[in-house]
Amino acid sequence: MKRVITYGTFDLLHYGHINLLRRAKALGDYLIVALSTDEFNSVQKGKKCYFNYEQRKELLESVRYVDLVIPETCWEQKATDMKEYHIDTFVIGEDWKGKFDYLKDLGVEVVYLPRTPEISTTQIKEDLDSSRH
Ligand code: C2G
């Protein structure tokens, strides 16, 4: 049983997120998503979410590729997560390329996947905002 993990905010869930989750699951048998909590988003990531943690969690749990959703409360939890959840592969979009290579020292495969072009939560918000004016 190959166990894969990825991390993110996943606000306003869109096909770019789904493309990431589908490719992440294809790298193993079991996919865990560490979902950024509302506090982590606002304090550490400077992100204001449209959906709160519970709503984002419910959406992710409805995605066929996702087997478990756990909270991401800080940047530093990744190393302990790898051990606690017996992770084989860490996956994230290549906008983070190189940032998590230290996890290789724990025997974890680190994979950066190409992002889906032209879609982002920020873009969705901007498009909706401009269509109102
Ligand atoms: N993503 C993608 N293509 C897009 C948009 C997002 O592949 N068009 C990917 C991102 O690269 C990331 C995942 O979808 O791997 C979730 O995106 P975000 O919610 O923006 O995640 P982020 O804020 O980058 O959080 O500790 C790591 C952070 O929590 C990552």
Predicted model pTM: 0.97
pLDDT band, residue 133 (cuts 50/70/90) = confident
Mean pLDDT of 60-86: 98
pLDDT at residue 110, as a whole number: 98
Residue 27: partners with Cβ closer than 8 Å, 6 or more residues away? 2, 4, 89, 91, 111
Is 5:87 a contact under the CB 8 Å cutoff?
A: yes
**Please, what is the end-to-end C-alpha distance for the chain in angstroms?**
51
Structure tokens at 38: 């509302």
Residues 6+ apart with CB under 8 A from 130: none
Atom 25 (ligand 1) nearest CA: 8
Q: Of 118, 114, 123, 119, whose CA–CA distance to 22 is shortest?
A: 114
Atom of ligand 1 at shortest distance to CA of 117? Answer: 8
Yes or no: say if 47 and 41 are a contact pair by the CB < 8 Å rule: yes
pLDDT in tens, 5-36: 999 999 999 999 999 999 999 999 999 999 99
100 in contact with ligand 1, CB cutoff 6 A: no
